[in-house]
Amino acid sequence: MAQDLRLVLVTPEKTLLDEPVQALRFPLFDGQIGILPGRAPLVGRLGTGELRVTEAGGNERSYYIDGGFAQVKGPIVTLLTNRAVPAESLTKAEGEALKQKAMASRPKTDTEFAAKERDLERGRKIIAIAAK
């Protein structure tokens, strides 16, 4: 039987998790990826959305993650992210507020348009995760 994975979830402020898990699912910048024991090595850019952790006992937990990088090296999965929040801490109101702020902005440059789109996407993802 393959050995469990070890998840290390790090934000700029602290290491949130460093524990064994059975499986993971999280967003890369170009789509979702699932990680099981025995996965080939990987380095990728994280997207925005839900990190779903399947613990050793089969229980599942979710987190909202906001960009960063992922590395799979042997049984260790390291996620370096700008922000990680437990799903139960999120509210639909937080997502709606982020969307409203983005909609109120009036971008004039390509960079400002891209920032507005990122904020809208963040708001939508927070609402979706909080609704579960």
pLDDT of 2 over the 90 cut: no
The domain 5-87 having CATH identifier 2.60.15.10: the answer here is yes
pLDDT of residue 4: 83
Q: Within its chain, how far is the Cα of 76 from the centroid?
A: 17
Spatial distance between the Cα atoms of 108 and 35, rounded to a whole number of angstroms: 40
| pLDDT more than 70, % of the chain | 98
**How far are the Cα atoms of 49, 55, 78, 85, 116 from residue 123, in angstroms, in the given order?**
10, 27, 25, 14, 11
Whether the model clears a pTM of 0.85, i.e. scores above it, the answer is yes
pLDDT digits (tens, 9 = 90+) for 37-74: 999 999 999 999 999 999 888 899 999 999 999 999 99
Q: Would you kindly state where each structural domain of the chain is located, as residue ranges?
A: 5-87, 91-130
Contact 20/14 with Cβ under 8 angstroms? no
